[in-house]
Amino acid sequence: MDSLVKNKIIISGLPRSGSTLLGNILGSGKNVEYFFEPPMSSPMFSVIDQLDEKTFKTFFDYYMQNELLMPSLAGRRLNFNPQDDSYIYKYKTKEEIQTRLEKSWRASEIKEIIGNYSMAFKTPGISSHLLKLMEYYPDWKLVIIFRKYEDILKSILVKGWFDDNNPNIITTYKYFGELKVPVSIPEIWSDEWSTLSPIERSMIYMNEQFSALKLQSNYIRLDYESLVQNPKDTIQTLLDKLDVQPTTKTDELIDKIYLNPNSNIQKLPSECHPRVLAEAISHKNHFSI
């Protein structure tokens, strides 16, 4: 894949940081083929430390090129459900997609045009795997989106990902007893997990993500607050760094961005596991969030 695609971009960071908004904007760029949280990306990254480099890259490259990029350019891997975040017309025009649906594309025809395209995908919540991933793919451009700690926490709590009775959880997961927990949660919390509140569990998850990001230096930072307060200049600066050209669809998406006046009403709890709270404050200071 690296020999075919001219530009490779990863969007990551913590869940609920604004990566969907950013992904749609980037996906609207000229000749950018964007993928919303590819189903196999998270489980593949979760085993990156268990596989040697050659084995991982063999599977990852095949998946990116033959399961995602080429079928998408051929019109065979597009989501036409308007209720989904990955709905194709959220970031592509109908005219652009229609040209893909006017014929049946052979693999050889796709390979003739693939060099004109940039490939981008977003997968949040993989912070602990980014070091190894960027070591394997140093030419990929990594964009990390940051948002106020309290805002992320508030959004995760609304989703209820760490409520025991909520069937919607963060994947990929493991078990602490009978409870499903994200694989990034350290084993040291296994005995206490059932006694912790949803807010403490959420903060532990966030803290682990931020701890891993502290080790990562090879990335382009984008702040959610800048994105919503000054979207036009913020996006243009990012696109310049990524060598991506905006389109009329990009302008349309930017015009729809607005600042939520209710932002940042969630506060860090004073009554919380002391170590969890101390780590949260440390991350807030380190990343200025």
Per residue in 33-81, pLDDT (tens digit) is 999 999 999 889 999 999 999 999 999 999 999 999 999 999 999 999 9
| 12 in the same domain as 138 | yes
Query: DSSP secondary structure string, 13-45?
Result: ESTTSSHHHHHHHHHTSTTEEEEES-TTHHHHH
Range of the domain at 96: 1-146+219-258
What is the C-alpha R_g of the chain? 20
Average pLDDT over residues 124-148: 96
Least confident of 199-203, 210-214, 265-269: 265-269
| 266 in the same domain as 239 | no
Q: Is the pLDDT of residue 1 over 60?
A: no
| 125 in the same domain as 10 | yes
| 202 in the same domain as 64 | no
| 249 in the same domain as 116 | yes
| 177 in the same domain as 223 | no
What's the confidence (pLDDT) of residue 262?
Answer: 65
What is the total count of domains within the chain? 2
| 199 in the same domain as 80 | no
| 190 in the same domain as 80 | no
| 206 in the same domain as 107 | no
| 164 in the same domain as 57 | no
Tokens representing 245 are 């050209």
Per the prediction, the chain carries an average pLDDT of 94
What's the confidence (pLDDT) of residue 264?
Answer: 55
